[in-house]
Amino acid sequence: MEFKTDTIKINGNEYRYYPLAQLNEKYDVDSLPYSFKILLENMMRNFDGIDINEKSIDNTASMKTGSEIAFKPSRVVFQDYTGIPILLDLAAMRSYLNSKNVSPEKLNPAVQSDMVIDHSVIVDTFKDTEPIIINMKDEFERNIERYNFLKWAKESFENVRIVPPGHGIIHQINLEYFSSLAVKKDGTIFPESLIGADSHTTMIGGIGVLGWGVGGLEAEASMLNEPYFMTVPEVIGVNLKGKLNAGVTPTDTVLYITKRLRSENVVNKFVEFFGNINELTAQDRATIANMAPEYGATIGYFPVDNETLQYIRATNRDADSVEAYFKAQGLFYNGPKRYNRVIDIDLSEIKSSVAGPKNPDELVELKDLRGTVKGLIENNHGDVVNDGSVVIAAITSCTNTSDPTVMLGAGILAKKAYEHHLTSKDYVKTSLAPGSRVVTDYLKAAGLLDYLNKVGFDIVGYGCTTCIGNSGPLIPEVQKDILKNNIKTYAVLSGNRNFEGRINPYIAGAFLASPVLVVAFAIAGRVDIDFENEPIGFDGDRPVYLRDVWPSSEEIKKYFYLAMDPEAYRKEYAEVFEGDANWNSLKSSKSTLFTFDDSSTYIREPPWLYLDPVKNIKNARIFAIFGDKITTDHISPAGPIAKDSVAGKYLSSLGVSEMNTFGARRGNHEVMMRGGFSNPKIRNLMVDKTGGYTIFYPSGEEMSFYDAAMKYKSENVPLVIFAGKQYGSGSSRDWAAKVTALLGIKAVIAESFERIHRNNLVDMGVIPVQIDKMPELKGDELISIDGIENINKNQDLTIRINSNEIHGKALIYTDAELNYIKSGNILKYISEQIK
């Protein structure tokens, strides 16, 4: 099968391209979803007749849901928590090849791969003189080994770019700088596509780039130019109708859409928005696309239109090429396309809201918040805080800090509050962590940054901070009060996730809210408030209500142009790869092989290439029985390592005093194994308490998950997990699958799996088995699953539980996934292909 190229002239330069129109003889390409057209162009351009073949073209162009396809993304992105394990795996693969007398130089990223170091800054210092300086200093002291490794990787691997700490968040920098939309390479122009080792990679869909989150293992394969294998998804069209009401923020919009789409079951589906998309700025759309994982979709996609072009120009990029190419290919928005299903969403129905306290789809209209919280708390009073007090208020996350509407709005509210002599409560830990330095520039230019500082919101760093659980310790007297008097306190943050235990282990829950509301909650100091009828504070004797300080759309528009200044983007991104004095002081030299140090507590050679494939599972023990919505945070926490935990005791035994976080220690499998399933909020139904415990059988002893796994391993006993719905939801964390494999778990048997975690389990050689309904289990049963040595795609399996049987299906979808299972894992399979 051969495809013709044509030429297009843009600003005097001529480029080749692969016209989609040539497929119209056989398929109705014009009516296809925009996302499918991008996939088709990718397949035409990368057609090899083997992995990307005529069947891939036909399955995509015919929208054959569930059929296998492959494509090659043009770029890969990741942050340091996922990126260090990725680069470490590549270093280990080079060492493995060298041990097999294969030239290690053969292993090199062939696809442009971009990392931003954004996950390691912790909010230790706040409400201080320039807390960012102290927090960055602490960050480097904790992470010097990791950052030395990254400097080595930057020098020693091809096609790897690394943005040092202190510049921003990967998805916001991707949105504002990295992404070109129309890629020019070797005289050919084509639409950008990407995958990222972070679930919120989907944010880029807000400006018409096809991209989504995958596990780190899949990202590694794509970096090495392996095709990305997937099945054709259903495409859901979301028809936006009506107009937003005054006072409704982009955050309100995304939380409403998240609630609505989660209830519509768009899991593993592409979602394309159409209709009144012109009601939304490009940044608003990016906010909605960002939270695709929270509403369950693979992508949330907005086609390129005039608003996109305006944003591309404003951020100092080449909009002419985007416009010319996307119009020539029929990729420029011209109305709805052919969808498997259409969902109508009326924008006028959206009200001011928050989401929580435990899940992003738990939408609570602001008028109902007081009643909701009153149903969660008692009436306990402490010395410093009471039930319902806000103890963390964080303007955080690329989800919202990328949108000038809510950031300017937060600044305006802070200004009005200060003019009413209001500030944040003393017991509230406040923080401002922009996703890029451009945010600081326009807040300064608008004269609003100073007011945010005055009400307690100092810039604490440029990174993910509280959104990923790096909120740092609570104010000491607050934490003491919570523990002493059993006080239920809360966090309010402008993030995208609020799973149990994620934000801080000592709080009762967390509410997602716009940056504007975050400031208001910090001033009010409580979540059990009726903003309509209760004041947020007093100006002398006069009550001040939220409506008195709320920013109007006219006030926001007055400053909005400052956030659309190409010069600001040019200036900040001209030095995006430059580090500060801390970064520049790190020493590293280029070499083919990395020298691993077995005494390191951060960087160790991983064991993946020496793991054996799963064999028939006979007389396995049940490692855990879980309910619904077990997240990757539950399975492999990213937050602080407690000194009295299994991992903490291990580190202490090595003389380590600074525990740091699990996310920072993902380069050390010994630490991560001990942290597996150790989230204090995890609930194993085999025991009568929360936390990382299970029962070892046949003795019936209660012990930590790690200790039980090691004891079973010493006796050569295979393990399985049983779980309910949405197993593995949340972050794209491949370590949740890696730790599962390392602890000896051969299969996870669940009612349903979240997409990325299912992929990761397969990539690590662990078999995901779907069952209709969780059986009644005690935990002492013996489990056998036959036929695994000769397993096939989507194979029906019989699971024997003692003398009873239930039926399940192995969720192995493609031939490639079958190869990974049979080799032991994806890294072993790829390494074995290099000769």
What is the spatial distance between Cα 183 and Cα 210, in angstroms, rounded to a whole number? 13
Q: Kindly state the helix (H) or strand (E) to which residue 149 belongs, with its residue range.
A: helix 131-156
- The mean pLDDT value for 271-294 works out to 98
Q: How confident is the model at residue 588, as a pLDDT?
A: 83
54: number of Cβ within 10 Å: 11
> What tokens does 282 get?
């490009």
Among 498-507, 530-539, 799-808, whose mean pLDDT is lowest? Answer: 498-507
Please answer whether residues 114 and 211 qualify as being in contact, where contact means their C-beta atoms are separated by less than 8 angstroms. Answer: no
- The mean pLDDT value for 692-715 works out to 98
Over the stretch 431-449, which tens digit does the pLDDT of each residue have? 999 999 999 999 999 999 9
Q: How confident is the model at residue 380 (pLDDT cuts 50, 70, 90)?
A: very high
- The mean pLDDT value for 700-714 works out to 98
Over the stretch 47-106, which tens digit does the pLDDT of each residue have? 999 999 999 999 999 999 999 999 999 999 999 999 999 999 999 999 999 999 999 999
Please answer whether residues 236 and 336 qualify as being in contact, where contact means their C-beta atoms are separated by less than 8 angstroms. Answer: no
Q: How confident is the model at residue 755, as a pLDDT?
A: 87
Following CA atoms 423, 426, 429, 434 in sequence, which dihedral angle do they give, to the nearest 10 degrees? 20
- Collapse the DSSP code of 423 into the 3-class scheme (helix H, G, I; strand E, B; otherwise coil) and give the result: coil
Q: Is the pLDDT of residue 182 over 90?
A: yes
CATH superfamily to which 608-833 belongs = Aconitase, domain 4 (3.20.19.10)
Task: Identify the DSSP state of 465.
Answer: G
- Collapse the DSSP code of 442 into the 3-class scheme (helix H, G, I; strand E, B; otherwise coil) and give the result: helix
Q: How confident is the model at residue 501 (pLDDT cuts 50, 70, 90)?
A: confident
Q: How confident is the model at residue 166, as a pLDDT?
A: 98
> What tokens does 408 get?
């300017």
Cis upstream peptide for 698 (omega within 30°)? yes
Q: How confident is the model at residue 395, as a pLDDT?
A: 99
652: number of Cβ within 10 Å: 13
Please answer whether residues 648 and 657 qualify as being in contact, where contact means their C-beta atoms are separated by less than 8 angstroms. Answer: no
Percentage of the chain exceeding pLDDT 70 = 100
Q: How confident is the model at residue 392 (pLDDT cuts 50, 70, 90)?
A: very high
Q: How confident is the model at residue 732, as a pLDDT?
A: 72
Q: How confident is the model at residue 733, as a pLDDT?
A: 87
> What's the residue count for the chain?
835
The burial of 330, by beta-carbon neighbours within 10 Å (0-12 exposed, 13-18 middle, 19 or more buried), is given as middle
Burial 666-690 (b: 16+ CB within 10 A, else e): bbbbbbbbbbbbbbbbbbbbbbeee
Phi, psi (degrees; rounded to nearest 5) at 468: -100, 10
Domain coordinates in residue numbering, the chain: 6-71, 75-123+133-349, 353-556, 608-833
What is the spatial distance between Cα 179 and Cα 171, in angstroms, rounded to a whole number? 10
701-704 and 13-17 beta bridge pairing: unpaired
Chain centre distance of CA 481 = 33
Q: How confident is the model at residue 756, as a pLDDT?
A: 87
What does R_g of the chain's alpha carbons equal in angstroms?
Answer: 26
> What tokens does 820 get?
């990974």
Please answer whether residues 360 and 498 qualify as being in contact, where contact means their C-beta atoms are separated by less than 8 angstroms. Answer: yes
Q: How confident is the model at residue 462, as a pLDDT?
A: 98
Q: How confident is the model at residue 589 (pLDDT cuts 50, 70, 90)?
A: confident
- The mean pLDDT value for 689-703 works out to 97
- The mean pLDDT value for 206-225 works out to 96
Beta strand spans in 396-503 (E):
429-432, 490-493
Percentage of the chain exceeding pLDDT 90 = 95
**pLDDT mean across residues, the chain:** 97
* CATH fold group of domain 353-556: Aconitase; domain 3 (3.30.499)
Please answer whether residues 193 and 177 qualify as being in contact, where contact means their C-beta atoms are separated by less than 8 angstroms. Answer: no
Q: How confident is the model at residue 587 (pLDDT cuts 50, 70, 90)?
A: confident
What is the spatial distance between Cα 740 and Cα 47, in angstroms, rounded to a whole number? 36
Nearest Cα residue to 478 out of 602, 590, 382? 382
- The mean pLDDT value for 444-459 works out to 98
Q: Is the pLDDT of residue 114 over 80?
A: yes
What is the spatial distance between Cα 718 and Cα 737, in angstroms, rounded to a whole number? 16
Beta strand spans in 689-756 (E):
693-696, 701-704, 719-723, 745-750
Over the stretch 731-783, which tens digit does the pLDDT of each residue have? 878 999 999 999 999 999 999 999 889 999 999 999 999 999 999 999 999 99
Do the first three CATH levels of 75-123+133-349 and 608-833 match, i.e. the same topology? no
Q: How confident is the model at residue 1, as a pLDDT?
A: 81
Q: Kindly state the helix (H) or strand (E) to which residue 259 belongs, with its residue range.
A: helix 250-263
Q: Is the pLDDT of residue 313 over 80?
A: yes
- The mean pLDDT value for 522-530 works out to 99
Q: Is the pLDDT of residue 712 over 90?
A: yes
Sheet holding 341-346, edge to edge: 299-301, 270-275, 235-241, 341-346
Find all residues with CB under 8 Å of 480, minimum gap 6, and list them: none
Q: What is the pTM of this model?
A: 0.92
Find all residues with CB under 8 Å of 230, minimum gap 6, and list them: 68, 69, 70, 71, 813, 814
- The mean pLDDT value for 692-697 works out to 98
Domain 75-123+133-349, second-level architecture: 2-Layer Sandwich (3.30)
- Collapse the DSSP code of 198 into the 3-class scheme (helix H, G, I; strand E, B; otherwise coil) and give the result: coil
Q: How confident is the model at residue 365, as a pLDDT?
A: 98
